[in-house]
Structure 1
Amino acid sequence: MPPPLAALAETRRARLAERWTPDQQQRWEAAWASYSQPAQLDHMLACSPFVADLLQRDPEPMLALLASGELQRSLAIGEAEQQLAGILQHGDAELLPELRRFRARHMLRIVWRDFCRLAPTLETTRDTSLLAEASIRCALSHCEAELAPRFGRPLGRHSGEVQELVVLAMGKLGARELNVSSDIDLIFTYPEAGETDGDKSISNEQYFTKLGQALIRALDAVTAEGFVFRVDMRLRPYGDSGGLVHNFSALEDYYQEQGRDWERYALIKARAVTGCADRVAELERMLRPFVYRRYVDFGVIDSLRGMKQMISSEVRRRGLESDVKLGHGGIREVEFIAQCFQLIRGGRDLGLQQRELLPVLAECAELGCLPQSAVDELRAAYLFLRDSEHAIQGYRDQQSQALPTEPGHQAAMARVMGFADWPGYLERIDAHRQRVAAHFRDLIAEPGESQEEETDDLPLWGEDLSAESLQALGYRDPQESVAPLLALRDSKRVLALQVQGRERLEEFMPQLLRACAEAEDPDLALARVLPLVTAVLRRSAYLALLLENPAALDELVMLCAASPWIAQLMAEHPVLLDELLDRASLYTAPDKALLQDELRQQVARLPLDDLEAQMEALRYFKASHTLRVAASELTGRLPLMKVSDKLTWLAEVILEQVLAVAWHNLTAKYGEPSREGGGSGFAVFGYGKLGGIELSYSSDLDLVFIYDSGARGVTAGPRSIDNSVFYTRLGQRMIHILETRMSLGQLYEVDMRLRPSGDSGMLVASTAGFAGYQRDSAWTWEHQALVRARLVAGDESVGEAVYGVREEILRRDRDAVDLAREVVQMRRRMREHLLPSAAAAKGEFHLKQGVGGIVDIEFMVQYAVLAWSRRVPALTQWSDNIRILETLGREGLFEQGECEALTEAYLAYRSAAHQLALQQQADIVPAVDYGEHRAAVTGKWEQLFASCEGDAAGQG
């Protein structure tokens, strides 16, 4: 210890001896003799006059702490409150003195543990917060006991239930991040208006106002023994000019009608510290939509930018550069960075809906809002600054965050912070603050100036908008393009906009027109983006998103210009604009493992029994990843085979979660089905494009549900039902989740016609029923469909049983001629029903149903599997056409050249179909463009089926 501090410690130790009685001195020496770290006493006497004064006045609290061992351990949550409640239970206990003595004892403990580094930073903030919570709850209970005999119980006007005061802790107390000499920000509320039931009846508002005032006095009043916590009520509705308490309904009305963005910011950390769990949950449900918008809320950025400017201005105006909280690079700037992302993204990214700062910063890194390196710097700076704040405040128990100027305090603070001298400490804190300030500066910077200076003077919106302006930008058909712009400008929807929405539109439209002018076809790009603008007029936060992120606007224009399908997707679901913010993510479609991991993270914080929330999350997940696949395909980053893989994996991951949600929902009601072995006993098989790993953007899902359980089994829950009924309802629930239309549309259309007996059969088949049907009743076309059957979700043991049946059926000994005849007849019927009759006459080729098209290849592959699997079992291994064709070539069943030609044709057809889907066009192309591929397909078809064709094929 430096000599000045050592001398100070010696002087203060002498004062202790002067003030104490001989008995106290004797007990002190005995207690201290057994303490494991005696040097801590001199350290504390030198570094905290607050602790020295407490010990001089009364050694008893410290003796009690030493005797109980509380000085050397953390307190459990609730332990301090239990102690205080026990003290106040004594009949002669006076509330105000006892509260203050209790606070003094625990602040002695908290500061001691902090200054001696017995407690990490977050324990200090937690214990101070728990002390405040204990003081609030115990004081409130005491005040209620005094009011009840005078006025009776407050009852709800409609419910008749007893009402209670719910104390909302705001700011650092709400997050349990209180500093050692902090005030506490509170809001008082209660559930329901009404009156008390006593002889002297008063309204609930009057009652709770009196109760709130009594609570504030108990905590805030300064007496001879000090205070407990300074109470600040200015964050309540209407501030100092508003009522002290509001019921839930009044609170909700205020925030819905008059709530401002800074109040949303403040409520992020709000936490009820009194009230029963049901009422607290009701209040949280009420406040959450105000704090967290359901979409990514870039509309709040202007307000946040204003708050940021006010922070910077306040530092300059008040000369707060030496303030570790309010100065540049201080605690407030770290908090602001985290809470900005919470307001902007917290409505969708539920991991941001947390009160504690450090977990929010970690989530920002996880979500890509901030680089991990930035989060590491902010975390380290935050902890160092909070320790510094405690070193300042624990010196004299004063609410200050200013770095000390007095040499003695500087020396004490440097020692507490672990530095040899004050300059060494200053060097470290300046480095931390510079890093924080840099991140703060980079946050929500002002939007860039227009990059098209030469067109800045063009009238691109408003009364002077004209075709000439568009022509000057490079539009090819300005007269055609200006018409919808003028219609939009003069529409009732625009005229009815509120001031903020109109201002955003006026700022956005010139930027949009300039962005579209950079497209290859500006008029087409504008025509495709305008429906999105119309769709979001009343939700102008989306326009703010694009204004704040010019690169996202450029991506939007490029993608919409390239694909009307994407343009329609964005117009119908503007929430997907958020996907344009991260270009790397937009053009990276994850593999299945990453998809599973991402979906797991997105739904992890959603209760499985919150069906609506699960369904919304799944729909966003599907829409966003479908957009990523489409964007990647349009820009050439994904070849066809990968596109189908990605879309198929996406469907599988979604089906797994849909099954998990449906299973949880059903078992919560009925219990699990009783069956031997583990697993759910339920399997989802994909047929068609899903089974063949060939999904496209608008594919429906061909599904078959199969279960395996005892014939007489029942579920194990109190509302027991037959297993077969349970599994049927499980399938129905899955279809409900998949097909229900919500704000983000459906997940998928589901086709169940390939199940045993089709539409007339049971929705869910047992393994025995499935096997019996396939063996005894299935048509040849159903065995063809079985070629593409594949387990996509559910119990693998059930899947293995079904695969066994599939293997058995596909490897049957069949008469090749009879099989060929049935395949050709089915193909003929399909073409008659599904092929547009005029296509061939116009020189057009239907990619799927036309002669030499996709279905012809599929039928030849299916024929080959059914005809030859008995002697070549490898043909049953795969469900996709490409790998079956590879097997046919490898086994010598088709010529290698034929397999390669069929594969090339198949891939060319599907690639064209994908591109046509993105252009919202039918699967019809000029026949001349695909003559070589068609010839290869028809040549092989004739080779296989010439003997049974007759006058078979129609034209296509």
Structure 2
Amino acid sequence: MTAPGRRSSTFTRLLRHGFTDPAAAERLLDSPELAAVRDDPVLLEALGATADPDLALLGLVRLLEAQPAPTARRELLDTVIAAKPLRDRLLGVLGASAALGDHLARHPSDWHALVMYEPRDLHPGVEEFERGLADATDPVSLRVAYRRCLLSIAARDVCGTTDIAETAAELADLATATLRAALAIARAAAPEDAALCRLAVIAMGKCGGHELNYVSDVDVIFVGEAVEGADETKALRAATRLASHMMRVCSETTVEGSIWPVDANLRPEGRNGPLVRTLSSHLAYYQRWAKTWEFQALLKAQPVAGDIELGEAYVAALEPLVWKAAERDNFVPDVQKMRRRVVENIPVAEIERELKLGPGGLRDVEFAVQLLQLVHGRSDVSLRSGTTLNALQALATGGYVGRSDAVQLDDAYRFLRSMEHRIQLYRLRRTHLVPEDEADQRRLGRSLGLRTEPVSALNREWKRHAGVVRRLHEKLFYRPLLDAVAQLATGEVRLSPEAARERLVALGYADPAAALRHLEALASGVTRKAAIQRTLLPVLLGWFADSADPDAGLLNFRKVSDALGKTPWYLRLLRDEGAAAENLARVLSAGRLAPDLLMRAPEAVALLGDGDGDGLAPRGRAALEQEILAGVRRADGAAQAVTAARGVRRRELFRTAAADIVASYGTEAQPVEADQGALVDLVGGAVSDLTAATLAGTLRAVVRDGWGDTLPTRFAIIGMGRFGGHELGYGSDADVLFVHEPCEGVDEREAADAAGKVVSEMRRLLQISSADPPLLIDADLRPEGKSGPLVRTLKSYEAYYRRWSLVWEAQALLRAEPVAGDEELGRRFVELIDPLRYPAAGLGEDAVREIRRLKARMESERLPRGTDPKLHTKLGPGGLSDVEWTVQLLQMRHGARVEGLRTTRTRAALAAARTAGLLSEGDTAILDEAWVLATRVRNAVMLVRGRAGDTFPSGARELGAVGRYLGYGPGHVGDMLDDYRRSGRRARAVVDELFYGG
């Protein structure tokens, strides 16, 4: 036993040397295996220098215990004490890797692999590793030999003899040697298969890029050919058997564990495609079917095993296709979309700890570097490296990335890769998650040289480097564009104009020369405005590139900046408000309507800021009417009053369009999660309220100009159609009826003249030509249509509806709702028409047949010639007319007894019919989905083209913009049209059953 005083002294020393469990360490030091060196300061110092002194000491005792004889134990202990290189290597490995400590305990003589410390041992290549695996003749012995080689790599790594790039290269070389050994085992097991075929193993991913992890899937592709005179089919079968056996040799778990999985899913058609293909079959696939990401993956393709000549032929044949990938449509959006998909698939609970795939992780650096390689490597062969750090250095040398940016990214990448390596080394498990346990973080921090407060230092350094990487998209891809045009005296190597044009084309800009002119105008000079815009533009360019029309986005930004650039709050808003710049980019590149509105009122940019989150929330009718009526009171005459009302309408239309676009596109901070029906309701309600407020203001202006404050007749405006249903789109006309009632003591002719003049003047003022979107009021749904008077008294309406009303007029009144003017008169009009539109006896069969006949006639007469009816949002199958007429038939049949059906709103009536049991849940959902989708398409067409339309645009860019608004990414326009047709078919089947009676 140790004396108490001595124990206390050792205990303190152990704490000072970094042991966290000094009591357990003392017991191990007192073990018979270490008795001879119990007080040797050299051992304690060496243990204290490791990542985990407790783990290193335990591993050393286990290794000593496992030695087969006392002489072997003495040899090991003497060598450890006397030879510093071995001591540092062995204890360094034991303190960093519990898994390699277990290996040494199982194979106690393997410590001899760490003895050599000569120049030729510093950086072994494939041949040296092949010699280390030469005696392996089966999967078990191959695993033992592999771990023995891994010991030497880990020792050089933890001792700092190699840096992270050299370690990753050694791991890739060891993987290459292992694949060759595994293939040799497979060939020896089936010599008849080996005689039939040539088989090349192409390394992909990190193995092909010469930058492998300690534990990683090794991605491969197999190429096979028949030997001369052999049948090709039989040869491919033989090659497939060899490839499968080779994969099993590496992947299967044995008593010695596994090495790593061999993954062949990067092959053409993935796991659904044949494991082995001929070179010509590979080439045909990549020429016809391959996606952008498959060419990106081929950047790292490298022949490593089997028939190297065949492998080199494979790489040579596909290389030209790789360097044409950037010319493909939607190249950059495809790559960006793939990166986003990777992030979206990370479990929420893990995203903050994801070292590889999370934001600011390793994959961010790799994706950006590969993107730049594919863009600029077409003309610059110096960029064609499969190794990330080599490619980054080449990009900096060529001026495609700023030198300081490249240095920061290099540092960040090396630190993050070192973290990843040390995390995996501990248990030799495939993981990229930073551990949560404090002891694990302490060991990780110490392994990286962070000895003072290792946990806090580790997290601080990790977050710092991740922050650098998070900005890589701006730093690596967009900022050099500004350096090319802004004449900046930064001392950096500048991107050439030709390279800048290449990059803009890859981003999707159709006119790179014009884009460069816009960038030069925005970013050149020494003004505060230019300095702030140089900061903003790299990010904005990325958001523009994410749209269907980047050119329009950049042009519109220049126009807005020219208009507001000298306004202090404008650039401050974009720089300081988190969402303002991104919202502006989305709005400016989403189509014509919103930018056109903004150009006429640039100060509306202020609505796009974060603020309290309500900047883009549409204002209610009461607030709108109050503001417009206040403007009318201040105006000098009716024309000026209507101009003021139009100004409010313009701003509020922009607010609604911007809210719709931002919710539809989503932002980086908040991806698209909006309910499509809720967006339709938002737009319909906002535009309808705005139209009602505008009409109320126009009515007040006309009355004030002509009669002061008292009109000789009470006057009300009744909204009809989509207006009455709160379902107006951006380009909808406002269907209305005008009703009046003479004031007490006023002659009916005088009252009628006054009401007629009000209507005429309102229509004239609203139709005055201006740059604002027109507000057309349509009174054609009035009694007798265009032949009847524009305005009637309430009694006249009553008489007409009692004697002459047709079934279609009763149907049209289902949408009637007072929107402006005398509220009491409007209420009485509703009381008048309720029995007509919700008949107590329901509808007779004659009336039902008439409604069906009218609908069929409308479809045959009004569908434009040459239009694909399946894509017509109003009259096509499952379109607005189908759903609305079906709902309205239910309202007229059952509205008298079902209170919920007495609504002017289509979706509310649908829900009420479902609640009343008139529609099944499934049919309700189908009709609602079709109606919402058709409405969204109409809104999209107006936003994109700046003019109304009932069908999809034919131009590729406009069609792509509609798709983007509806949530379809680049290259998925066909999916959008297919989904629309499918929705229409399903809805039409329901309509056939419910409206036409099956």
Normalised by the size of structure 2, how large is the TM-score?
Answer: 0.42
Normalised by the size of structure 1, how large is the TM-score?
Answer: 0.44
